[in-house]
């Protein structure tokens, strides 16, 4: 079952269960995916976005909600922060397991060796390799500085 099919099945189940928070979150994810589908149609792509792009959309939505929850907590709006955290839990059900720090380090080393990278100039190749294999499994915002640190030493 593809990620889209699973998402649609979960939307239907949330409707049956009358789980309003879950239903709203799943509909937001579905709308974001459809929005990206429409954007890619102009490029001659009639099939829509692939699984890796769907994972990237969900990862981005999770990150946005984490930032919003942090801002709400700082502003003293714990109720809104909790709502954001509940939405994160729903979205994360569809994402693959996040790699731990040891696995991320190992993936970076593997990417460096397989792309034959020798300096920071090869960072684009390394990041491209990691994104192709580990989309949705690691935070690329934190991986970039780790790669730079690796070449600095």
Residue extents of the structural domains in the chain: 3-92, 101-152
| pTM over cut 0.75 | no
Q: Which homologous superfamily is 3-92 in?
A: Uncharacterised protein YqeY/AIM41, N-terminal domain (1.10.1510.10)
Rounded CA-CA distance 112/107 in Å is: 9
> Is residue 11 within 8 Å of 27, Cβ to Cβ?
yes
Rounded CA-CA distance 69/73 in Å is: 6
Q: Is the pLDDT of residue 153 over 70?
A: no
Q: Residue 100 in 3-state DSSP?
A: coil
Q: What is the pLDDT of residues 93-120, one digit of tens each?
A: 888 887 788 888 888 888 888 888 788 8
> Is residue 105 within 8 Å of 147, Cβ to Cβ?
no
Domain pair 3-92 / 101-152, same fold: no
**Which letter does DSSP use for residue 3 in this model?**
H
CA-based nearest residue to 135, from 62, 31, 41: 62
Check residues 147 and 8 and name the one with the higher pLDDT.
8
**Which letter does DSSP use for residue 96 in this model?**
P
Domain 101-152 sits in CATH 3.30.160: no
Q: What is the pLDDT of residues 14-73, one digit of tens each?
A: 999 999 999 999 999 999 999 988 888 776 666 777 887 888 888 889 889 999 999 999
28 by Cβ neighbours in 10 Å (0-12 / 13-18 / 19+) ranks as middle
């Amino acid at each position: 079952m593809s990620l889209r099919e699973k998402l649609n099945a979960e939307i239907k189940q949330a409707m049956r269960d009358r789980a309003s928070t879950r239903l709203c979150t799943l509909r937001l994810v579905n709308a974001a995916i459809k929005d990206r589908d429409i954007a890619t149609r102009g490029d001659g792509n009639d099939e829509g976005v692939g699984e890796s792009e769907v994972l990237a959309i969900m990862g981005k939505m999770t990150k946005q909600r984490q930032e919003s929850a942090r801002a709400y907590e700082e502003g003293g709006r714990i109720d809104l922060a909790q709502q954001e955290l509940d939405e994160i839990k729903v979205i994360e059900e569809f994402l693959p397991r996040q790699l731990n720090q040891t696995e991320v380090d190992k993936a970076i080393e593997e990417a460096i060796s397989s792309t034959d990278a020798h300096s920071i100039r090869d960072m684009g190749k390394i990041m491209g390799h990691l994104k192709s294999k580990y989309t949705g499994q690691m935070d690329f915002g934190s991986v970039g500085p780790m790669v730079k640190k690796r070449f600095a030493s």
